[in-house]
Amino acid sequence: MGQKVNPIGMRLQVNRTWDSRWYADSKDYGNLLLEDLKMREFIHEECKQAGVSRVIIERPHKKCRVTIHTARPGVIIGKKGADIEGLRKKLTPSSKKPPSRPPPARSKKRSSCFRR
Residue 19 to residues 5, 49, 65, 99: CA-CA distances in angstroms? 19, 21, 12, 16
In tens digits, the chain (116 residues) has pLDDT values of 677 877 776 666 666 677 888 888 888 888 888 999 999 999 999 999 999 999 999 988 878 889 999 999 999 998 988 898 999 888 887 666 666 666 665 555 554 554 44
Element (H, E) at 113: none
Spatial distance between the Cα atoms of 76 and 87, rounded to a whole number of angstroms: 8
Contact 93, 64 (CB under 8 A): no
**Confidence at residue 97, expressed as pLDDT on a 0 to 100 scale:** 63
* Global confidence as pTM: 0.67
CA within 13 Å, CB half, 14: 5
